[in-house]
Amino acid sequence: MRILNHRFNSEGELQRKLSLKEFDAEVIGATIEKLRREKWIDDDRFAASFVRARVRKGLGRHRISRELSAAGVESETIVRALDESVPDHDERAAALASARKRLAVIRRREEDVAKIREKLVAYLFRQGYDSSLAVDVVREVTAKETRE
């Protein structure tokens, strides 16, 4: 219960944490089942909340999906959470906002337009945006610099 008091956990995370504390596998299984029945853990709710929080931070679908997988959430639950939790989320707009913000930081350290683009694309990849979207967004936010 102390683990659940800190933040909402996925079933996989809770199972991993209890295993690290060296609880017996039978005890872990029974505990997880009881917590699931009593709605203390619910991967659908966890995934939906996680997706909303990560989208607010400007992360892309790919990264959110990877993080949920790492938390032990099943792929069907991840897809459902991504589709249902932010159905009207405009990933392109989020990528543009993120790229513009990061561009200001990169410009302070770098002057070469090609290197700026390279770093910006790499940043968007790390943030979880699709490669074609990242390249397109970088092209758009750096277009003014290439015309000068």
pLDDT in tens, 28-41: 999 899 988 988 88
| C-alpha distances out from residue 129 to 12, 59, 67, 77, 112, Å | 25, 7, 14, 20, 24
pLDDT band at 115 (very low <50, low <70, confident <90, very high): very high
Q: What φ, ψ does residue 22 adopt, rounded to 5°? A: 65, 35
Q: What φ, ψ does residue 40 adopt, rounded to 5°? A: -80, -30
H or E stretch including 43?
A: helix 43-56
134: tokens are 């990242």
- Are 113 and 142 spatial neighbours (Cβ–Cβ below 8 Å)? yes
pLDDT band at 121 (very low <50, low <70, confident <90, very high): very high
Q: What is the pLDDT of residue 117?
A: 95
Q: What is the pLDDT of residue 86?
A: 72
Distance (Å, rounded) from C-alpha 132 to C-alpha 78?
Answer: 22
Establish how many alpha carbons lie within 13 A of residue 7's alpha carbon, considering only the half-sphere containing its beta carbon: 9
Distance (Å, rounded) from C-alpha 61 to C-alpha 71?
Answer: 15
Q: Which residue has the higher pLDDT, 87 or 27?
A: 27
Q: Write out the E strands in 12-97.
A: none
Would the pLDDT of 148 be above 60? no
Q: Which residue has the higher pLDDT, 48 or 148?
A: 48
Over residues 60-113, the pLDDT tens digits come to 999 999 999 999 999 999 999 999 877 667 888 899 999 999 999 999 998 899
- Are 50 and 81 spatial neighbours (Cβ–Cβ below 8 Å)? yes
pTM greater than 0.85: no
pLDDT band at 6 (very low <50, low <70, confident <90, very high): low
Tell me the Ramachandran region of residue 9: left when phi exceeds 0, alpha when psi lies from -120 to 50, beta otherwise. beta
